[in-house]
């Protein structure tokens, strides 16, 4: 297990980057930068690469519709180059609200596109001439494909630092998770409930692992989680509830909300419906209060030292190998110190598991 930290696209970037060396000294292994309809994460990851020497970098996530597969591969190779081999490519489909609403690109076939993008990226990094004929992507285009006929298979000019950059995928639906277990190095599941993994994804993970190439190694579950040592403030709890209500209730239409569907698979069918009904009717505060307490506790890392140790062990036993923290302590000094404490806990849990 390693310790990572999310850098929020909504604020605090400069302050967090200034403290990264302190975080590194206190056990931070990885920094992840999100990308929604905000500043692009490539610029921020490049800046962080220049300001650090050891910490790993992760995109969380590059939206797969907004870049061609080859550009995604080029960008990943470029970030790996400027960071001297420290970049991890996080990919995801995002959702129709962002892809169609902000980018004006049709949101279709997320599963098929993900598979093809992974294959093309790995061709590019191996410096093979990119030749791909898929259902969703064709490289190079020929006259038969509507091209000019001038295109020919090209390989990346530069030699990448690594020919196999780790790929992690944000996925929630069973078919998507099956693909992740088959093809990816890592998995970014939002709102991961460690006690309900089998219930929500057991069959999908088993089917994917049955087709997995052993050279990929263990699947690295990379978990975004709010963290505070000690009793969290009411504001911190409210922020978690508000985020859950937003995603479960309002992130997509009634029949196309992946987070609502996940909540149902966790066993909260009635609660998921109530949250969605309240949220879509404009009663957002009531929707937040309707979020089950068990779910709030499952997707956070709050409590005293003994409780934190117990929760980290549960996450480790549930397959989590990377914690992407959102530290919520009141001051920057407290946040750095609390990451240091957690690094010690993680070391103990890993040691006991050997």
- What pLDDT score does 149 carry? 80
Q: What is the CATH number of domain 2-230+304-353?
A: 3.20.20.30
What whole-number distance in Å separates Cα of residue 348 and Cα of residue 344? 6
- Report yes or no: 282 and 213 within 8 Å, Cβ to Cβ: no
Model confidence band, residue 212 (pLDDT cutoffs 50, 70, 90): very high
Given a cut of 90, whether residue 203 has pLDDT beyond it is: yes
- What pLDDT score does 16 carry? 87
Question: Which residue from 190, 264, 271 is spatially nearest to 225, judged by alpha carbons?
Answer: 190
Predicted TM-score (pTM) of the model is: 0.93
Domain boundaries, the chain: 2-230+304-353, 232-300
Given a cut of 80, whether residue 10 has pLDDT beyond it is: no
């Amino acid at each position: 297990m390693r310790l990572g930290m999310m850098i929020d696209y909504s604020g605090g970037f400069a302050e967090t980057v200034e403290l990264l060396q302190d975080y590194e000294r206190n056990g931070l292994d990885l920094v992840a930068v999100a990308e929604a309809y905000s500043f692009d994460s490539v610029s921020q990851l490049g800046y962080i690469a220049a300001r650090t020497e050891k910490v790993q970098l992760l995109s969380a996530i590059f939206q797969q519709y907004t870049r061609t597969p080859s550009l995604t591969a080029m960008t990943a190779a470029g970030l790996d180059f400027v960071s001297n081999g420290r970049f991890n490519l996080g990919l995801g489909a995002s959702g129709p609200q962002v892809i169609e609403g902000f980018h004006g690109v049709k949101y279709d076939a997320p599963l098929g596109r993900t598979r093809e993008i992974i294959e093309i990226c790995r061709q590019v990094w191996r410096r093979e001439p990119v030749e791909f004929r898929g259902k969703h992507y064709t490289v190079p285009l020929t006259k038969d494909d509507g091209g000019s006929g001038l295109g020919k298979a090209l390989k990346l000019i530069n030699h990448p630092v690594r020919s196999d950059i780790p790929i992690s995928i944000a996925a929630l639906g069973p078919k998507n998770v099956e693909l992740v277990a088959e093809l990816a190095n890592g998995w970014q599941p939002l709102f991961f409930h460690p006690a309900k993994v089998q219930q929500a994804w057991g069959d999908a993970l088993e089917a994917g692992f049955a087709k997995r190439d052993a050279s990929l190694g263990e699947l690295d579950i990379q978990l975004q989680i709010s963290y505070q040592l000690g009793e969290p403030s009411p504001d911190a709890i409210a922020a978690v509830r508000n985020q859950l209500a937003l995603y479960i209730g309002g992130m997509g239409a009634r029949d196309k909300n992946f987070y609502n569907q996940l909540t149902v698979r966790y066993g909260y069918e009635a609660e998921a419906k109530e949250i969605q009904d309240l949220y879509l009717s404009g009663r957002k505060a009531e929707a937040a209060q309707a979020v089950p307490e068990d779910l709030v506790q499952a997707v956070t890392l709050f409590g005293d030292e003994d409780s934190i140790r117990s929760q980290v062990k549960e996450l480790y036993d549930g397959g989590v190998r990377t914690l992407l923290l959102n530290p919520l302590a009141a001051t920057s000094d407290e946040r750095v110190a609390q990451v240091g404490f957690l690094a010690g806990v993680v070391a103990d849990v890993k040691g006991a598991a050997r």
